[in-house]
């Protein structure tokens, strides 16, 4: 079994949202590497990068007038005020590419394009009507996996499956098509984000309507990471969000779906679909975090069109990961959103695993949890101002 070489990202301060975010080559001085069976990731904790280790912050009962509470409210208000005066178009970098896939392509071709272009989702284009036909995401591939798992007899025709057939796969599995929450590029960012959070969609296609041709056109797709990076780059008050995750009860701590290196990819996919989650932490029998299996890993596993690879163990799948994989981001219950925003500014983070000093998995903090807090849950904090 090959070693899985994961690489940490080096912090690289940049001033605008269009600056490249990823520097996957060098390791940080403080990054810690655990060694377990050769499948472990390299862990980066915001607190390691930004603050020398101090004793844990006291998690005293909430007292509304403490400076830390006032600052938290001011930080949240600054972020919301900022989102209310920006539109979706502002989030886009100065130059970007958009890869649209024709619904006449096969699923296999789409997987190859995804891998070659390094993307994990793409808007679909229906050339028969010259219109936008929804968003292709990793969830579609998970559905395909589940479909062939139920109908192994149809597997011989898998290479002929078209992107336009995915609707039938959804119908067959009796899964509701994901609610397509699109927004106009001119929509107020705050409103578009609230809409996205309610629908639990993880990305927003920016779709404009041309009244002359009566057709829809996609300008770009904005992800949760891009929005948080936009906030991190432009709202300096993010450094006022010093309340710890423990204090604001941010993240998921109960019933965490986890797996071991011996679990099969197929079983993990099932869990991800049933629970509507995009990643599953890989732990030892004692609960020590080793790595994280992500829904997007399925793209790499399927690109050869060999659906037999799904019987692989998670350990084997992680070993086959590209050496450019950015690594796993961790934080502790003592971290605040200030340090997490600092990490988002520097690196392409998709989620953080919450661990204790011994790397024991305590919880999961997803980007949707952070956005939910900024836009919805933290409301009571600002209401007290």
The CB-of-279 to ligand AMP minimum distance in angstroms stands at 5
Other Cβ atoms within 10 Å of 200 Cβ, number? 12
Q: How far apart are CA 330 and CA 359, in angstroms?
A: 9
Q: Which is nearer to ligand AMP, 19 or 257 (CB)?
A: 257
Q: Which is nearer to ligand AMP, 143 or 279 (CB)?
A: 279
Other Cβ atoms within 10 Å of 274 Cβ, number? 9
Which whole-number Å values give the CA distances from 350 to 185, 294, 296, 326, in the listed order?
23, 10, 11, 10
Other Cβ atoms within 10 Å of 158 Cβ, number? 17
**Which helix (H) or strand (E) covers residue 32, if one does?**
strand 32-33
Antiparallel, parallel or unpaired: β 328-331 and 361-366: unpaired
The CB-of-377 to ligand AMP minimum distance in angstroms stands at 11
Q: 210-241 burial by CB neighbour count: b if 16+ within 10 A, else e?
A: eeeeeebbbbbbbbbbbbbbbbbbebebbebb
Which whole-number Å values give the CA distances from 79 to 185, 189, 228, 385, in the listed order?
20, 11, 10, 15
DSSP designation for 276: T
In the complex, the residues that contact ligand AMP under the rule CB under 6 A are 202, 251-252, 256-257, 277-281, 351, 364, 366, 368-369
Given a contact cutoff of 8 angstroms between Cβ atoms, the answer to whether 13 and 345 are in contact is yes
The CB-of-385 to ligand AMP minimum distance in angstroms stands at 27
- Residue nearest to ligand AMP according to CB distances in the complex: 366
Which whole-number Å values give the CA distances from 261 to 23, 284, 292, 295, in the listed order?
28, 8, 10, 16
Given a contact cutoff of 8 angstroms between Cβ atoms, the answer to whether 53 and 343 are in contact is no
Q: Which is nearer to ligand AMP, 242 or 351 (CB)?
A: 351
The CB-of-351 to ligand AMP minimum distance in angstroms stands at 5
Given a contact cutoff of 8 angstroms between Cβ atoms, the answer to whether 111 and 137 are in contact is no
The CB-of-278 to ligand AMP minimum distance in angstroms stands at 4
Q: Which is nearer to ligand AMP, 110 or 224 (CB)?
A: 224
Q: Which is nearer to ligand AMP, 143 or 366 (CB)?
A: 366
Q: Which is nearer to ligand AMP, 166 or 201 (CB)?
A: 201
Given a contact cutoff of 8 angstroms between Cβ atoms, the answer to whether 303 and 110 are in contact is no
The CB-of-376 to ligand AMP minimum distance in angstroms stands at 12
The CB-of-249 to ligand AMP minimum distance in angstroms stands at 12
Q: Which is nearer to ligand AMP, 75 or 281 (CB)?
A: 281
The CB-of-178 to ligand AMP minimum distance in angstroms stands at 12
Token pair 């930004």: residue: 50
Q: Residue 180: helix, strand or coil by DSSP? A: coil
Token pair 């940049």: residue: 14
Q: Which is nearer to ligand AMP, 149 or 368 (CB)?
A: 368
The CB-of-251 to ligand AMP minimum distance in angstroms stands at 6
Q: Which is nearer to ligand AMP, 162 or 257 (CB)?
A: 257
Q: Residue 306: helix, strand or coil by DSSP? A: coil
């Amino acid at each position: 079994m090959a070693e899985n070489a994961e690489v940490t990202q080096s912090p690289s301060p940049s001033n605008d949202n269009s600056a490249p975010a990823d520097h996957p080559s060098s390791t940080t001085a403080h990054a810690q590497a655990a060694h377990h069976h050769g499948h472990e990731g390299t862990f980066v904790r915001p607190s390691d990068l930004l603050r020398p280790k101090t004793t844990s912050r006291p998690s005293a009962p909430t007292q509304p007038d403490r400076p830390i509470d006032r600052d938290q409210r001011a930080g949240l208000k600054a972020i919301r005020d900022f989102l209310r005066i920006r539109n979706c178009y502002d989030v886009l970098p100065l130059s970007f590419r958009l890869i649209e896939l024709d619904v006449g392509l096969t699923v296999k071709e789409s997987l190859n394009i995804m891998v070659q272009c390094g993307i994990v989702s793409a808007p679909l284009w229906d050339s028969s009507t010259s219109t936008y036909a929804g968003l292709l995401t990793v969830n579609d591939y998970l559905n395909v996996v589940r479909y062939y798992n139920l109908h192994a007899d149809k597997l011989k025709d898998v290479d002929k499956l078209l992107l336009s057939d995915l609707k039938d796969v959804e119908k067959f599995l009796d899964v509701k098509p994901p609610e397509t929450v699109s927004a106009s590029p001119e929509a107020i960012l705050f409103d578009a984000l609230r809409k996205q959070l309610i629908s639990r969609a993880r990305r927003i296609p920016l779709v404009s309507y041309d009244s002359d041709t009566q057709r829809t056109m996609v300008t770009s797709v904005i992800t949760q990471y891009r929005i948080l990076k936009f906030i991190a780059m432009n709202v300096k008050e993010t450094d006022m969000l010093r309340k710890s995750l423990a204090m604001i009860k941010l993240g998921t701590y109960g019933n965490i779906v986890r797996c071991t290196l011996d679990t099969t990819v197929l079983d993990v996919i099932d869990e991800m679909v049933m629970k509507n989650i995009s990643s599953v932490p890989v732990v030892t029998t004692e609960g020590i975090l080793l790595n994280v299996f992500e829904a997007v890993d399925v793209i790499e596993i399927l690109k050869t069109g060999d659906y037999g690879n799904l019987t692989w163990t998670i350990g084997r799948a992680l070993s086959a990961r590209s050496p450019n994989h950015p690594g796993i981001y961790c934080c502790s219950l003592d971290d605040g959103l200030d340090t997490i925003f600092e990490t988002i500014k520097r690196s392409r983070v998709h989620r953080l695993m919450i661990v204790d000093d011994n790397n024991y998995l305590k919880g999961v903090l997803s980007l949707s949890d952070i956005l939910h807090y900024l836009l919805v849950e933290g409301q009571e904090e600002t209401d007290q101002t």
